[in-house]
Amino acid sequence: MLRLLASSCARGPGPGVGARPVAGLCHLGLRQSRQASDAPRNQPPSPELVARSVGVCSMMRLPVQTSPEGLDAAFIGVPLDTGTSNRPGARFGPRRIREESVMLRTANPSTGALPFQSLMVADLGDVNVNLYNLQDSCRRIQEAYEKIVAAGCIPLTLGGDHTITYPILQAMAKKHGPVGLLHVDAHTDTADKALGEKLYHGAPFRRCVDEGLLDCKRVAQIGIRGYSTTLDPYRYNRSQGFRVVLAEDCWMKSLVPLMAEIRQQMGGKPIYISFDIDALDPAYAPGTGTPEIAGLTPSQALEIIRGCQGLNVVGCDLVEVSPPYDLSGNTALLAANLLFEMLCALPKVTTV
């Protein structure tokens, strides 16, 4: 049994029960079991039939399920912010992203993607993290994700601070070997340690390199910016073979040509997408713990994720949404949209 709990705003079923339909929607037949490739799949309810304020607060009001069995992809929350270095609150990110996801719909006219006609998708609730012990939380996350990926389910993660990507990639590498990484962020997150600690949200990818979890020639970091204690803050990353794309090299331009180069770099091997919401300028995404000025725009974020169509994406995360600093809810709304775009970019998603 996965060490998962249903979302705090979408309590899961009792022992022995695989999934539960969204409250009040049973008569619509929205929950289906995957029994054949042409069998009906889970569908988020249409706002034309069910008011957005109705139902359990799951991602896109999808069924909440306690097991990844039978799923092609799943949304999972990791409500952890014990690794933050500045403003806390990312532990509330998964809940708020789910709330804002009621605005999403089932089709993506811009890309032609129809994910719910292609994949069986559900919400697996939250990993049962230990807010008092970061090392124990990482162990719990790794164990949960090992079970998810072993079931053939692609995880789309709602963070949580960026520490969580480290144990997720431990689980990914156990199945796929070293993976490529598309990392969108204001920060490289490759510091060695802070205050004597090697495990925090500024160091996940340093730990991943240390453990051989990444195919370093297939790592790209986009949106990097901010002041530093040295004039060459990216020396370590480039020495490992990472491609580092600074935010200032993205200003005032489309990133479609860049993503064509990234697709060539990644090839057909497994790739993981990790998207820190602070990659975006705080004018668009103020609700985050470590904001940096002069960041990417939402349209550039869409170009990055849509540019991953056709790649062998084996997992994704969206991290560092801090609702206490997101008074309008716009940061969480943006995060929900980007997670849907990630779903649309997964392998086997039908496009027309």
Question: How far is 301 from 112, CA to CA, in rounded Å?
Answer: 18
- To the nearest 10 degrees (0 to 180), the angle between helices 256-266 and 298-306 is 30
Overall average pLDDT of the 270-282 stretch: 98
pLDDT at 18 over 60: no
Please report the pLDDT score of residue 38 as a whole number. 65
Question: How far is 237 from 188, CA to CA, in rounded Å?
Answer: 8
pLDDT at 209 over 90: yes
Please report the pLDDT score of residue 194 as a whole number. 95
- Annotated ligand binding at 276? The verdict is yes
Q: Which of 271, 52, 18 is nearest to 125 (CA)?
A: 18
Please report the pLDDT score of residue 5 as a whole number. 45
pLDDT at 8 over 90: no
Q: Is 273 helix (H, G, I), strand (E, B) or coil?
A: strand
Q: Model pTM?
A: 0.90
Please report the pLDDT score of residue 40 as a whole number. 84
Given a contact cutoff of 8 angstroms between Cβ atoms, the answer to whether 303 and 288 are in contact is: no
Residue 138 φ then ψ, to 5°: -65, -40
Overall average pLDDT of the 274-295 stretch: 98
- To the nearest 10 degrees (0 to 180), the angle between helices 330-344 and 93-100 is 80
The size of the chain, in residues, is: 352
State pLDDT tens for residues 42-60: 999 999 999 999 988 999 9
Structure letter (DSSP) for residue 251: T
State pLDDT tens for residues 169-203: 999 999 999 999 999 999 999 999 999 999 999 99
pLDDT confidence tier of residue 24, bands split at 50, 70 and 90: very low
Overall average pLDDT of the 208-236 stretch: 97
Question: How far is 106 from 237, CA to CA, in rounded Å?
Answer: 38
DSSP H helical ranges for the chain? 93-100, 115-118, 134-150, 165-176, 204-210, 235-239, 256-266, 298-306, 330-344
pLDDT confidence tier of residue 39, bands split at 50, 70 and 90: confident
pLDDT at 6 over 60: no
Please report the pLDDT score of residue 50 as a whole number. 93
- Annotated ligand binding at 185? The verdict is yes
- Reading the block at residue 7, the tokens are 């979302």
Enumerate long-range contacts of 238-246, CB under 8 Å, 24 or more apart. Answer: 240/209, 240/216, 241/216, 241/217, 242/216, 243/219, 244/188, 245/220, 245/221
Residue 282 φ then ψ, to 5°: -65, -10
- Annotated ligand binding at 162? The verdict is yes
State pLDDT tens for residues 238-269: 999 999 999 999 999 999 999 999 999 999 99
Tokens 């962020």 found at: 185
% of residues, the chain, pLDDT over 90: 88
pLDDT at 10 over 60: no
pLDDT confidence tier of residue 320, bands split at 50, 70 and 90: very high
pLDDT at 34 over 50: no
pLDDT confidence tier of residue 16, bands split at 50, 70 and 90: very low
State pLDDT tens for residues 87-144: 999 999 999 999 999 999 999 999 999 999 999 999 999 999 999 999 999 999 999 9
Given a contact cutoff of 8 angstroms between Cβ atoms, the answer to whether 39 and 33 are in contact is: yes
Please report the pLDDT score of residue 37 as a whole number. 58
Overall average pLDDT of the 299-328 stretch: 98
pLDDT at 29 over 50: no
